[in-house]
Amino acid sequence: MPITPTEASAQAREICGLAPIVPVLVVHDVAHARPLAEALVAGGLPALEVTLRTPAALDVIAEMAKVEGGVVGAGTLVTPDDVTKAIEAGAKFGVSPGATDKLLDACEAQGLPLLPGAATASEAMALLARGYDMLKFFPAEASGGAPALKAIGAPLPQISFCPTGGVSPKNAATYLSLSNVVCAGGSWVAPSDLVKAGDWAAITSLAKEASQLARA
């Protein structure tokens, strides 16, 4: 069912509001999918972004979509084909590093709420003109970090962001203190060594710490 940009942003904002941190996941083994999702949801992080950077990613989304309490999305959406495959796998939202008309058209036509990426005021304004007011700020640290995002927010207070890219336990609180930040995306809550070791209890502990970060 088609979706408008305004509806897409409203739904994306609701998902981003579920917790202060959205885990950004690069999963290589589908066997890790369900226990990883269960560990993160148990720790208070229900919104999960599975990046389409591995051959297993779509199967991982399909498995994580079965986990009660989780809301699984597909990250690194670049083409309309990515959108179709992500929806077929069970993704409930999408995240992209940037935004093209073809990608936005595909998400709107197929009803997938998208968190489109923007790194500059011009990119954010272009998306706002189309109807998107909930965006991904990427790559956050490389684009100037929290000071840059705060500066963009001054003339564009109607736009909210989820900064991703270089967000860590050291700077997450700074991002979350900004009035134009709803949540932040981070990979530290699911480090590859703990995933490979199957240490789900440790991942739940990291998730609990992240879930308690304060927001503006």
| Active site residue ranges | 49, 136
Give, for 127, the enclosing helix (H) or strand (E). helix 121-130
Amino acid at 56: A
Sign of CA dihedral 110, 113, 117, 123: positive
Query: How many whole angstroms separate alpha carbon 98 and alpha carbon 138?
Result: 8
Residue 11 CB contacts under 8 Å (≥ 6 apart), including other chains: 3, 93, 113
Secondary structure class of 210 (helix, strand, coil) = helix
d(CA 129, CA 76): 23
> Are 195 and 169 in contact, with CB atoms under 8 Å apart?
no
**Rounded-to-integer distance, Cα 51 and Cα 209, Å:** 23
For 8, other C-beta atoms within 10 Å of its C-beta total 26
Give me the count of residues in the chain: 216
Cis peptide bond upstream of 5, omega within 30:
no
